């Protein structure tokens, strides 16, 4: 390979801004906006830049994030990072914030994930969606997770947040515009009963988009397994009604 030619290609790639962000954030914990991405130094990993706003009432010391980089018109994203799945090592990207983020404060953050964007990805027009799935305060306590909500006695909100950590939205797809109402029954063992999951409402898409959005919501509920682990469900189980909103997250 001609090293001079390779150097020109690498510098050109670094110079291109790869994306404009979608804004996401679970249940008002935090929002990540104006996100962009580029291949990391020497082509190692992918570096992501975002503006993160703390929407909670507690200063954030650590962020836990998931990332999806997609392209309108393509069904499969170019990159996923920090997604929860069957592999227990595939958890959220964790970033400590020097000085933290005070309530209401917006702070620019930069971090690098191990995955590298494909050379086939079109630099212009990509969408970088960063979701703050959880956060910790200066003492390491969970600000946005189910434990913090359970302490306030809000069982349904705790279930919503547990499900949201397993919910994946593909920005740029038609299903990403659909807001769903979903009803399910959580058994005494803390697991959702698969045959109880049903759609109660939908808006923002055609029949196909709604069907895809519901299937993604259903899979997220089942993927999370014990979505009410440790919560006071009761021997008879609990009927839960939730809204799946790609902008504001899963809520009661």
pLDDT at 224 over 70: yes
pLDDT tens across 124-176, in order?
A: 778 888 888 788 889 888 775 444 444 444 678 778 888 888 888 888 888 88
pLDDT at 30 over 90: no
Class of 3-144 per CATH? mainly beta
pLDDT of residue 6: 42
Percent of the chain's residues with pLDDT above 90 = 21
Most confident of 27-36, 48-57, 174-183: 174-183
pLDDT of residue 212: 93
Q: Would you say 57 and 103 are in contact if contact means Cβ atoms under 8 Å apart?
A: yes
Q: Would you say 35 and 47 are in contact if contact means Cβ atoms under 8 Å apart?
A: no
pLDDT at 181 over 90: yes
Percent of the chain's residues with pLDDT above 70 = 79
pLDDT of residue 32: 85
**Where are the domain boundaries for CATH 2.60.40 in the chain?**
3-144
Average pLDDT, the chain: 78
pLDDT of residue 58: 83
pLDDT at 108 over 80: yes
pLDDT at 110 over 90: yes
pLDDT tens across 192-218, in order?
A: 899 999 999 999 889 999 999 999 999
pLDDT of residue 209: 92
- Taking the C-alpha atoms of residue 131 and residue 144, their distance in angstroms, rounded to an integer, is 12
Residue 42 — very low, low, confident or very high, per pLDDT cuts 50/70/90?
A: confident
**What's the average model confidence in pLDDT over 11-19?**
40
- Taking the C-alpha atoms of residue 165 and residue 125, their distance in angstroms, rounded to an integer, is 27
Which own/partner pairs from 104-108 qualify as long-range (CB within 8 Å, at least 24 positions apart)?
Answer: 104/53, 104/54, 104/55, 105/53, 105/54, 106/51, 106/52, 106/53, 106/54, 107/51, 107/52, 107/53, 107/54, 108/49, 108/50, 108/51, 108/52
pLDDT at 28 over 60: no
Position with higher pLDDT, 169 vs 23:
169
**What's the average model confidence in pLDDT over 104-121?**
89
The residue among 111, 63, 54 whose CA lies nearest residue 91 is: 63
Task: Read off the pTM.
Answer: 0.51
């Amino acid at each position: 390979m001609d090293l001079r030619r390779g150097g020109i290609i690498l510098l050109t790639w670094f110079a291109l801004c790869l994306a404009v962000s979608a804004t996401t954030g679970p249940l008002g914990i935090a929002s990540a906006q104006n996100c962009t991405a580029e291949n990391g130094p020497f082509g190692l990993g992918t570096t992501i830049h975002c503006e993160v706003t703390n929407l909670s009432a507690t200063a954030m010391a650590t962020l836990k994030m998931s990332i999806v980089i997609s392209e309108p018109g393509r069904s499969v994203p170019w990159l996923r990072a920090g997604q929860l799945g069957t592999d227990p090592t595939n958890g959220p990207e964790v970033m400590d914030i020097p000085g933290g983020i005070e309530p209401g404060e917006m702070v620019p953050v930069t971090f690098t994930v191990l995955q590298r964007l494909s050379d086939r990805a079109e630099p212009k027009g990509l969408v970088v969606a960063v979701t703050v799935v959880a956060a910790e305060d200066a003492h390491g306590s969970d600000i946005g997770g189910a434990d913090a909500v359970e302490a306030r006695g809000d069982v349904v909100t705790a279930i919503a947040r547990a499900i949201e950590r397993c919910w994946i939205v593909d920005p740029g797809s038609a299903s990403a515009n659909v807001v769903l109402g979903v009803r399910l029954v959580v058994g005494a063992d803390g697991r959702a009963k698969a045959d109880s999951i049903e759609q109660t409402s939908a808006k923002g898409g055609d029949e196909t988009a709604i069907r895809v959005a519901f299937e993604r919501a259903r899979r997220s509920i089942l993927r999370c397994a014990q979505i009410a682990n440790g919560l006071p469900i009761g021997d008879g189980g609990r009927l839960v009604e939730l809204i799946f909103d790609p902008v504001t997250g899963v809520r009661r």
